[in-house]
Structure 1
Amino acid sequence: MNTDYKIYGLFVGLTVTIMVMCDTLMFKVFNLGDFRITASGIVFTLFYLLSTISTEVYGYKLGGRTVWIVVLCQTIYVFLINICAVIQVDSNAYSQHYYGLYNDFWRVTVATWVSMPASYFCNSFLISKLKIYFNGRFFIVRYTLSAMMAQAVLLITDYPISLSSKYSFYELVNIMSTTWCYKVVMSIILLPVGIYIVQKIKKVEKTDYYDWGISYNPLKVFKGTNDDVMRNKFDINK
């Protein structure tokens, strides 16, 4: 596996930034008539764009390493925010605001441990397997199907844990269904951007990775693979 990729580190940094932003905006909800959507749900669409591009270009294992890095960074971030929010609450008005917003921020950490690996590895597995099945063709189909499935997994595993203390059951269902619809629509809107970025990055990195013969165990993404299998099908003439 090539370890000299030029842009992979940028993908990791952008993904961590987006996910920390999503954590911070988790409790912010916008009203759209009778529908409600979280601010984090709006921003989170960018994560799926990045994760899909990462798997498409670099393969399942490098993409999987990114998600475990994100989980670690999110855990540290949420833990420190939560601790600071509950210490010396009465010191000033700002401290009380922080407490009111982040006193049960630990729920986001618990949700992250469940939802991030579940949704990401669902998305990455589908992208990887469908790429092999279609021999690299029909990126539009692969991207759309994986986004629909993975974002449903995320909402089902994340929002009941993160938001159950803030909203009623009816409000939670409303938020989840509206956010899922929004994410699917945004995934389709961002599709041309994803196609363009994938093509450019493949040329820069000189790689078009296929996950033949790998283990899809999420706990083994940091282990090496069989170097005798030629997984890079990059065509220099494209």
Structure 2
Amino acid sequence: MSLDVKNVEIKPIEGYKYLHIVSMLFVTTLLISSILSMKVVTLGFLDAPAGIITFPIAFISGDILAEVYGFKITRRVIWTGLFCQLLMSVMFLIGEALPYPEYWELQSEFSAIVGFVPRVVAGGMIAYFIGEYLNAMVMSKMKIWDQGKRFWRRALFSSFIGQGLNSIVFTLVAFYGIYSINQLFIMIGSGILTKMVYEIIALPLTNYATKWLKRNEGVDVFDYGEEYRLIGAKKTN
């Protein structure tokens, strides 16, 4: 018996060619940040979770998503990232609890890392959702107010709001009771400062990426009438 095989063109998600790439970058850096954030690093005179080296990429990707594809699609990606974080945390817990052979001598080291992940992920999920949602909403609203001009202004302001709240919520949820209040304030301030410097340095590349995507996707969404609901946003008349 022979099969009649035909070439079938796969249609891109939502008709866009590059949406899946930006979305995958967003979620991947989010998950990496959750793991890295278990370590606190010293950058000069600043102390901050190690996830600071990758998490700004997630916010930059969020800026690009909101600027090019609009709030609805960005909200969908944000929810997807939240689910992936939860799934990762559950899988780590299961992996830690599974029995192991006697020759496996790294269980304590494994538990020291993975066992801390749920609290870090819990803080990360709460902080991420608040930060990314506000980042996307501010980007969307300011784009309408600016009539699509001055991308740099809304990118920086939305990131300051989103990443600022993210640093505060994450640090308090993930590390309260582990470090002193003074150390927590240092981590929060260091996180906000480092993320904003990161954002400013990357701004030319972010601006170029948004222009390139708009041109090659043939889209530039303005969220007129958007209600900015967490679930099931709809247009007003």
Q: Is 2:157 the partner of 1:145?
A: yes
Runs of 4 or more, structure 1, over 6 Å off, are none
| Partner residue, 1:218 | 230
Q: Is 2:220 the partner of 1:208?
A: yes
Structure with higher Rg: it is 2
Kindly report which structure 2 residues correspond to 1:60-71, keeping only aligned pairs within 5 A, or say none.
60-71=71-82
Q: Is 2:100 the partner of 1:52?
A: no
Q: 1:163 aligns with which of 168, 175, 182?
A: 175
- Asked if structure 1 preserves the Cα contact closer than 8 Å seen for 2:38 and 2:117, the reply is no
Structure 2 counterpart of 1:133, which letter?
W
- Asked if structure 1 preserves the Cα contact closer than 8 Å seen for 2:163 and 2:192, the reply is yes
Deviation at 1:113, TM superposition (A): 3.6
Deviation at 1:34, TM superposition (A): 4.1
Structure 2 counterpart of 1:75, which letter?
L
What CA distance in whole angstroms lies between the structure 1 residues aligned with 2:40 and 2:129? 24
Structure 1 counterpart of 2:157, which letter?
L
| Partner residue, 1:32 | 43
Of the structure 1 ranges 24-33 and 207-216, higher mean CA displacement relative to structure 2 is found in 24-33
| Partner residue, 1:42 | 53
1:62-106 CA distances to partner (integer Å, 9 max, x unpaired)?
A: 001000000001110111112322444895331110111221322
- Asked if structure 2 preserves the Cα contact closer than 8 Å seen for 1:86 and 1:103, the reply is no
| Partner residue, 1:232 | none
| Partner residue, 2:5 | none
Give 3-state SS (helix, strand or coil) of 2:228's partner: coil
Which runs of 5 or more structure 1 residues have no equivalent in the other structure?
230-238
Give 3-state SS (helix, strand or coil) of 2:15's partner: coil
RMSD: 2.0
| Partner residue, 1:9 | 20
Give 3-state SS (helix, strand or coil) of 1:6's partner: coil
Which runs of 5 or more structure 2 residues have no equivalent in the other structure?
1-12
What CA distance in whole angstroms lies between the structure 1 residues aligned with 2:191 and 2:128? 16
Deviation at 1:165, TM superposition (A): 5.0
What CA distance in whole angstroms lies between the structure 2 residues aligned with 1:30 and 1:7? 34
What CA distance in whole angstroms lies between the structure 2 residues aligned with 1:48 and 1:109? 17
Give 3-state SS (helix, strand or coil) of 2:47's partner: strand
Give 3-state SS (helix, strand or coil) of 1:179's partner: helix
TM-score (norm 2): 0.88
